[in-house]
Amino acid sequence: MQLKSEIDEITDLRNGVEDVFSRLFLHYQQSLLYLSKSIVGDLFVAEEIVSDVIVKLWLKRESFYSMISVKAFLYISVKNASINHVRSKKNLKTIEFSKEHERFSSEGDSLIKIIESEFLNEIFSEIKKLPEKQRLVLQLTYLESMNTEEICAILNMTPNAVFVNRARAIEKLKNRFKNNPLIISCLTFFLLQN
């Protein structure tokens, strides 16, 4: 996201300039979705949580004085809302929740998830620049968890075309980030995890 200046950007946000709000949403959406989905395990629920937090940001926009506080608000709110959602689903099974989701309660682990989300935000920005078929194959494979047959049916492609587009897209991403080993590590982890 190209910001005019932080002071102008935060002033416009505080004054309710919707263009700034839209840019913030687009900039943070993917990493916030990743963070929430990693906790709740459901993309639809994660989308709802992120949307609710974005609305809260808009409603509280006058209380922010820096972009760092906006970013902190977004990540902390998404993390907490996601954990609260899991807790509410478990109802009285708090002990199970504590054991199962212990890693999300410590600040260190939350920071790791936030940093991971930021790296993924960089990756998602580059995915958006890929040719359409490569971008769609990656999104359906890694974000929608679809198999090759499902992708073939949706995109009207052969299995070989899906494999070729996926391989080319991954190669382009590797080349784009070849000078940044941290992002390459995050990309590799993301691709292997899915």
Residue 158 DSSP one-character state: -
Verify that 157 and 113 share a domain, yes or no.
Answer: no
pLDDT of residue 49: 93
Give the domain extent around 176. 129-194
Residues 1/31, Cβ–Cβ less than 8 Å: no
CA atoms of 102 and 80, how far apart (whole Å): 13
Verify that 64 and 44 share a domain, yes or no.
Answer: yes
CA atoms of 120 and 30, how far apart (whole Å): 8
Last residue of a domain, one of 64, 91, 125: 125
Give the contacts of 148 (CB within 8 A, at least 6 positions apart): 159, 162, 163
pLDDT of residue 82: 87
Rounded to 5°, the CA angle 77-81-84 comes to: 140
Verify that 49 and 135 share a domain, yes or no.
Answer: no
Verify that 30 and 120 share a domain, yes or no.
Answer: yes
Residue ranges of the chain with per-residue pLDDT less than 50: 1-3, 91-99, 103-106
pLDDT of residue 87: 79
Last residue of a domain, one of 108, 125, 142: 125
Verify that 49 and 141 share a domain, yes or no.
Answer: no
Verify that 69 and 36 share a domain, yes or no.
Answer: yes
Instruction: Give me the CATH number covering residue 182.
Output: 1.10.10.10
pLDDT of residue 164: 92
pLDDT of residue 112: 64
Residues 73/63, Cβ–Cβ less than 8 Å: no
Verify that 42 and 119 share a domain, yes or no.
Answer: yes
Verify that 26 and 77 share a domain, yes or no.
Answer: yes
CA atoms of 79 and 88, how far apart (whole Å): 14
Overall domain count for the chain: 2
DSSP SS3 for 95: helix
pLDDT of residue 154: 85
Verify that 5 and 36 share a domain, yes or no.
Answer: yes
Last residue of a domain, one of 103, 125, 147: 125
Verify that 36 and 66 share a domain, yes or no.
Answer: yes
pLDDT of residue 3: 43
Verify that 30 and 93 share a domain, yes or no.
Answer: yes
How many angstroms separate the Cα of 133 from the Cα of each of 78, 83, 106, 167, 185? 31, 35, 40, 12, 24
Total-model pTM: 0.55
Verify that 137 and 78 share a domain, yes or no.
Answer: no
